[in-house]
Amino acid sequence: MKIGILSSGGDCPGINATIRGVGKTAIMHYGMEVIGIHNGFSGILKKDTEEFTERSLSGILNLGGTILGTSREKAFRKLIKKDVDGQASIIKQNYEELSLDCIVCIGGNGTQKTANLLSEIGLNIIGVPKTIDNDVWGTDVSFGFNTAVNIATDSIDRLHSTASSHKRVMVVEVMGHKAGWIALHAGMAGGADVILLPELGYDIEKVNEAILDRAHRGKPYSIVVIAEGLQTPDGRRPADYITSAIEEGTGIETRETVLGYTQRGGSPSPFDRNLATRLGGHATELIANKQFGRMVCMKGDHVDSIPLSEVAGKLKIVTPDNELILQGRRMGITFGR
């Protein structure tokens, strides 16, 4: 068999570990041919590929980013769905001309949605979930999340000393457009006093009350962790709005820190390296067994797979009954309400 591998969407620690897991399993165990497709789905249209060997896949386990390059092409899904100018036909033709038996698509929600559309037009596809946001539906965890939480937690740890020394409120904005998994896990692990998530909303008056209550109890500083997808009444960036609102409402000096892309850059954590390796290896097993149109996933500590059609268009979000939220409330952590 001959398989292709591509990565799409934002970069993420663990993509190269996944490429290695898929490719080495395919070459060493199953004797398959493996090619890399450059720059996401655009590489299919351009037939921009390279041949992988066991040697070329060595030394990439600990590398951040993706050796294949990536791109965000939202228009690509529309082209496939509407078949504008016969794009779907070109994709299918190139797939056949490259003599591919399957394409492994590594990416987040948008990638899995596109992967499902490719599957629907007749291509053999396997999806591998990739996102630091941990919001891909159907898997308990995605590689990249653990690394991002580690980086965010370390940053929060470092801000405690500054907040304490200056008796300030420190507002830390972490990634998470629609899902607050990083904010929740890093906030809890970093000992935050207030954690604000897009899913739960917030009342700024309640936030200020919690901070003033801490000050009255002899705790003149607070750590506030927020997700970047938090809504603000004036459309400002969450960190900017929350920082201003807290300082105005409490009279306590408040500063913001936006972690940004540092959370998804650099080497993957050992946990993410092993997770990516397991997911990549299972993707190759599915190909060998000709179980196409599926996305590999984690269920507890078990590697499994589900139909791509079940994943497309769905989002895994934090719910109010999450155990970390329930435990946090018991300890006096404020979640905005």
| Token pair recorded at residue 12 | 């993420």
Contacts of 82 (CB under 8 A, 6+ apart): none
Are 103 and 124 a contacting pair, CB within 8 Å?
yes
pLDDT digits (tens), the chain, 337 positions? 999 999 998 899 999 999 999 999 999 999 999 999 999 998 998 999 999 999 999 999 999 999 999 887 654 666 666 665 567 788 899 999 999 999 999 999 999 998 998 999 899 999 999 999 999 999 999 999 999 999 999 999 999 999 989 999 999 999 999 999 999 999 999 999 999 999 999 999 999 999 999 999 999 899 999 999 999 999 999 999 999 999 999 999 999 999 999 999 899 999 999 999 999 999 999 999 999 999 999 999 999 999 999 998 899 999 999 999 999 999 999 999 8
Q: How many Å apart are CA 323 and CA 331, to the nearest integer?
A: 12
Closest among 268, 272, 271, 262 to 174, alpha carbons compared: 262
Q: How many Å apart are CA 130 and CA 276, to the nearest integer?
A: 9
Torsion angle of alpha carbons 246, 251, 253, 258, nearest 10°? 10
- What residues act catalytically? 133
307 pairs with which residues across the strands?
Answer: 294
The pTM of the full predicted model, rounded to 2 decimals, is: 0.94
Are 15 and 266 a contacting pair, CB within 8 Å?
no
Distances (CA, A) of 193 to 132, 211, 221, 312, 334: 23, 8, 9, 36, 6
What pLDDT score was predicted for residue 83?
Answer: 64
What pLDDT score was predicted for residue 76?
Answer: 60
Are 294 and 127 a contacting pair, CB within 8 Å?
yes
